[in-house]
Amino acid sequence: MFLFKLLLKNAFRHKLRTLLTMVGLIVAISAFGLLRTIVDAWYAGVEGTSSTRLITRSAISLGYPLPVYYADRIKKIDGVTGVTWLNWFGGVYIDNRNFFARMAVDANSYFPLFPEFQISKEEQAAFMADRQGVILGRKTAQRFGWKVGDTIPLSGTIYPGNWTFNIRGIYTVKDARFDETLMLLHWSLIDESVKKRLGSLAANQVGLFMVGIKDPSKASVISQEIDTLFRNSVAETRTETEKAFQLGVVSMSKAILMAIRAVSFVVILIIMAVMANTMTMTARERLAEYATLKALGFSPGFVVKLLFGESMLIALIGGVVGIGMTFPLAKGFLLQTNNVFKVFEISQETMAFQAVAALIVGLIAAMWPAWKMSRIDIVQGLRHVA
């Protein structure tokens, strides 16, 4: 208890310096947490997947069209519970900053495959009855202040022209891992527009198939079976689990993610330098004190304990406040970025990492001064009083 009191007194003897160091620590620890959360958000699509869904897409690249009749052939494979297809609609609402994902889906087969999307029977029926109807994720509806019955004007990118959609329903999700920002429209609508524009040969094309399977352990067998089915055909396929597919998409931005990760460690290094500087200065100023303690018979270990304890105390307070500050910071960041991230949650792992980082900073900062102070010569130290 005596030791702790001494530590507390010591730590706040130089109020301004300790306060500044803590501010630095808080900034660094919360920035570190924010950066990790950003990287996690990128991988959110991977977390929000189901092990009972496969994705079949063109072997050429994602988005290259496949004929819709493949669905019937995939359905016949043993262990397949359902097949649906979708096309990326693209489009722009006012300008590119108002991005949210818009997908053309086959309404009849889509919802049975996505049980995590919850929507009332009435809204679903209203959607089915309206060719220009859409179902919107709750987050996107909130972001633009839209409600059921509103219309959304979009200008087409992949499907040219000016489009108007009627909001017929708003879906929610069971679990924060899943995407609550989608806009779902009728696939038949865009297919007709293609038919009108380019003729029936260009129509009946889909971007990808989602395949529901009964047994997740059969995923790789069924994937192979699907791809074999279409080998050497007009359009070869590549099938993988939903998770593998999402990971593939994320890995395309790997260089950026690695840079963010690297930078998140740089901020810890920066604060380590600042903290080490504080402790070095503190130790230098208290040279005479430590010499006195030694002269009174305290062991060199006691001086070491004092320095480490003080450093850890500052790091601990800074770390805890820093972790707390991450929450408002993350909220502000999400607002600033126009909600491009579908899921933005600070994970427990991130908080643990933040705590560990703060403690490591505290430890390393005290190392050099502690080593030096434990070796001071009493006479030299006492002479320093002058």
Partner 1 sequence: MRAIPLSYVMRNLWVRRVTTVLTAGGMSLVVFVFATVLMMSEGIKETMVATGQPDNVIVLRKGSGTEINSAILRTQASSLEALPGIATDSEGHRLLARETVVLNNLPKRDSEDTANVTMRGTTQIGLGIRPQVKLVQGRMFRPGTSEIIVGQAVAKGFANISLGSTLMMAGREWTIVGIFDAERSGFDSEIWADSDTVTQAFRRSVYSDIIFKLNTIEAFPAVAKAIADDPQLQLDVKLERRFYADQSEGMTRFITLLGLSLSVIFSIGAIVGAMITMFAAVASRIGEIGTLRALGFRKEAVLLAFLGEALGLALVGGLVGLAGASAMQSVNISTLNMATFSELAFRFKLTWVVSIETMAFALLMGFLGGFVPAWRAGQLSIIECLRQA
Which residues bind to partner 1, rule: CB under 8 A?
A: 16-17, 20-21, 23-24, 27-28, 31, 35, 59-64, 90, 92, 96, 155-158, 160-161, 198, 201-202, 232, 234-236, 238, 248, 251-256, 260, 263, 266-267, 269-271, 273-274, 276-278, 280-281, 285, 368
Closer CB to partner 1, residue 135 or residue 361?
Answer: 361
| Pick 31 or 219: Cβ nearer partner 1 | 31
Shortest Å, Cβ 45 to partner 1: 14
CA distances from 311 to 27, 110, 112, 154, 271 (A): 17, 57, 57, 57, 13
Instruction: Kindly tell me which of 149 and 199 has the beta carbon lying closer to partner 1.
Output: 199
CB of 62 to partner 1, least distance (A): 7
Residue number with CB closer to partner 1 (202 or 360): 202
Q: How far is the CB of 226 from partner 1 (least distance, A)?
A: 16
Instruction: Give the shortest CB-109-to-partner 1 separation in angstroms.
Output: 26
Q: How far is the CB of 117 from partner 1 (least distance, A)?
A: 25
Considering beta carbons, is residue 26 or 135 the nearer one to partner 1? 26
CA 340 – CA 17 distance, rounded (Å): 39
Nearer to partner 1, 77 or 257 (CB): 257
Quote the least distance from Cβ 170 to partner 1, whole Å.
Answer: 27
281 or 335: CB nearest partner 1: 281
Closest to 123 (Cα-Cα) out of 113, 109, 137? 137
Least separation, in Å, of the C-beta of 276 and partner 1?
A: 5
